[in-house]
Amino acid sequence: MAGNQNGTPARGGTKVWTTLITNTDYLPGLLTLEFSLRKSNSKYPLLVLYTDSFPPEGHAALDARGIPKRRVPYLLPTISKDFVNDVRFYDCWSKLTPFSLVEYERVVQLDSDMVVLQNMDELMDLELDAPELAGTGDRVFAASHACVCNPLKRAHYPKDWIPSNCAYTSQHATPELAQRAGAPSAAGLGIPNGGLQVVNPSQAIYDRIIAQLASSATSNYEFADQSLLSDVFFGRWVGLPYIYNALKTLRWDGVHDVIWVDENVKNVHYILSPKPWEEELSSDGRKSVDPSHAWWWKMNDERLEEKRRRGLTDNF
C-alpha cells in the first residue's frame, strides 16, 4: 500500500482508518496495527496522522513501508490541564482532529495500541448523522463505552468510576446481546472510549470542538478527548458493542469477563502499561502480565517476518 506525505491514500476512496502518532514509543504498535488491518482484508487504508514532534526516524519507517501520512496540529486546551498522573493524555486531545478531515466521507480513528483480529469494514457504512447537521443530531459519532470500573483502584480516578456506574455492567444480564449491540450512549456515566471513533468529518463539529478547547470547561476533563466528547455530545452518539474496542481489562476476572467472548472480538485495545512491545523477554520466552498480549505478539511476529522478506533493516 502506497501513499504520500499529503495523506492521499492509494486505495479505499473517501473512507479511511486513521491513527495518531507523536513519537516513536508507539511506532511498534502502529506498524502492527497497520499489518493487522491488511491481514483482516480491510478494503480501506490506514492514514497516519502525525504531529511536529514525530521524529525523522519515524517518518523513514513509515516511508519505507509506503504507509500514507498527514501532518495534523497538536491540540491542547487554552487552559492548561495537569495530567501528571497520566501524561499520555497530553497527546490525546489531538485525537479529535479526524473531525476536521472533511475531504473524507468517513474516518474511523484507531489507537496505535490496538490489534485487529477480524475484519470490521462494516464500521465504514454505519449510519451516522450527515455533516450538514453540524453536531445537532443524535448520531454525531460512534464509539464503544469507556469502562469506568477502575479495576486497578487508581486513587486519582474520579470517585464515581465504580462498577455500578459502568455501561458494561448494565449488559451483564444479556451477554449474547452484548456481542451485537452496545449499551445506549447515556448508559452509566455516558463516556465513550476515545480509542476507536467512527466519524463523518464536519467543519462545523470541529469548530465546536475547538471552541470547547478554548473554554474553562476543559479544566474538569479528567480524560481529555473522551471527556470533551461526552460533555459536548452527551447521549447523542452511537454506542458500539465492546467487540470493536475490546479493552483488555474487560476480559479480566471479575471485571466484565461475563460478556467477553474471545472468538467474537474484532479489535483488541491494549490500554494501560506495559504495552505488549514494552514487555521484557525472559529466558523461557515472553513474560506477559496479560494473556491477551499473546495475540499481539503473534501478529507482530508475522509482521516482522514480512519485514524480513521485504529487506527492511530499521529497528521497528
Question: Per-residue pLDDT averaged across 204-233, rounded?
Answer: 93
What does the pLDDT read at residue 8?
53
Q: Is 213 helix (H, G, I), strand (E, B) or coil?
A: helix
Q: How far apart are CA 271 and CA 246, in angstroms?
A: 10
- pLDDT classification of 282: cutoffs 50, 70, 90: low
| Mean pLDDT of the chain, nearest integer | 92
Question: Per-residue pLDDT averaged across 148-157, rounded?
Answer: 95
DSSP code for 309: H
Pairing of strands 285-286, 196-199: unpaired
Pick the CATH number of 15-309 from 3.90.550.10, 3.30.200.20, 3.30.230.10, 3.40.50.2300: 3.90.550.10
For 117-139, write each residue's pLDDT tens digit: 999 999 999 999 999 999 999 99
For 165-198, write each residue's pLDDT tens digit: 999 999 999 999 999 999 999 999 999 999 999 9
* 204, 127, 184, 248 alpha-carbon torsion, rounded to 10°: -90
CA 243, 245, 247, 248 dihedral sign is positive
What are the domain boundaries of the chain? Answer: 15-309
What does the pLDDT read at residue 32?
98
For 60-88, write each residue's pLDDT tens digit: 999 999 999 999 999 989 887 665 655 56
Question: Per-residue pLDDT averaged across 258-264, rounded?
Answer: 98
pLDDT at residue 258 above 70?
yes
Give the residue carrying C-alpha cell 490500554: 271
